[in-house]
Chains A and B, each alone.
Chain A
Amino acid sequence: MDQILIQTLHGLVNGMVLAMVASGLTLIFGIMDIVNFAHGDLLMLGAFVGASIVGVTGNYWLALVVAALVIAILGALLQATTLRPLIGRDPLTTILATFGVSLVIQKYALWQWGPSVRQISEPVRGNFTLFHLQYPWYRIATAILAGLIIAGLWLFLKYGKYGIWIRATTQDRVMAQAMGIPVPLVYTAVFAIGSAMAAASGVLFGPFAGVTQTMGFDFTLRAFIVVVVGGMGNLGGSILASIFVSLLESYAAIVVSPAQAVIVSFVVLVLTMLFRPTGLFVPTPK
Chain B
Amino acid sequence: MLILENVDAHYGKSHVLHGVSIEVRAGEVVGLLGRNGVGKTTTLKAIMGMARRTGGRITFEGRDLQGVPPHGLAGLGIAWVPEERRIFRLLTVLENLRTGLDRPGVTQARRDGLLEKVYAYFPILKERRNQAGGTLSGGEQQMLAIARAMVLEPKIILLDEPTEGLMPRMVAQIQEIVHALHRDGVAILLVEQNVPLTLDAAGRVYIMEKGAVQHHASAAELRADQRVIHDYLGV
Contact = CB atoms under 8 A, between A and B. Distances in A.
A165 B104 CA distance: 13
Interface residues of B, number: 28
Contacts of A175: 82, 86, 88
Contacts of A182: 71
Nearest to B95: A164
B70 interface: yes
8 contacts: A165-B102, A167-B91, A167-B95, A178-B71, A178-B82, A179-B148, A180-B75, A286-B89
Which one of A164, A175, A178 has the highest number of Cβ atoms from chain B below 10 Å of its Cβ?
A: A178
Given A180-B72, A180-B103, A181-B71, 20 more contacts: A164-B95, A165-B102, A167-B88, A168-B95, A171-B90, A174-B70, A174-B86, A175-B86, A177-B71, A178-B70, A178-B71, A178-B73, A178-B74, A178-B80, A179-B99, A179-B100, A179-B152, A183-B70, A183-B71, A184-B69
A209 B152 CA distance: 52
Nearest to A179: B99
B98 interface: yes
A180 B73 CA distance: 7
A284 interface: yes
B71 A164 contact: no
B50 interface: yes
Contacts of A80: none
A172 B50 CA distance: 13
A161 interface: yes
A88 to B, nearest CB: 12
B48 interface: yes
A176 interface: yes
B134 interface: yes
Interface in B92-150: 95-96, 98-100, 102-103, 132, 134, 148
Contacts of A286: 89-90
Contacts of B74: 178-180
Interface of B: 48, 50, 69-75, 79-80, 82, 86, 88-91, 95-96, 98-100, 102-103, 132, 134, 148, 152
- Give the interface residue-count category, chain A: 20 to 34
Contact of A176 (B48, B75, B99): B99
B65 to A, nearest CB: 13
B75 A171 contact: no
Contacts of A180: 71-75, 100, 103, 152
Interface string A171-207: 1101111111111100000000000000000000000
B46 to A, nearest CB: 14
Contacts of B90: 167, 171, 284, 286
A172 B89 CA distance: 9
A164 B73 contact: no
A81 B230 CA distance: 55
B99 A164 contact: yes
Contacts of A168: 88, 91, 95-96, 99
Interface in A25-71: none
Nearest to B102: A161
Nearest to B104: A180
Which one of A167, A174, A175, A181 has the highest number of Cβ atoms from chain B below 10 Å of its Cβ?
A: A175
Nearest to B82: A175
Contacts of B99: 164-165, 168, 176, 179, 181
Q: Kindly list the 3 A-B residue pairs having the minimum CB-CB distance in the complex, ordered from nearest.
A: A180-B74, A177-B70, A175-B86
A284 B134 contact: yes
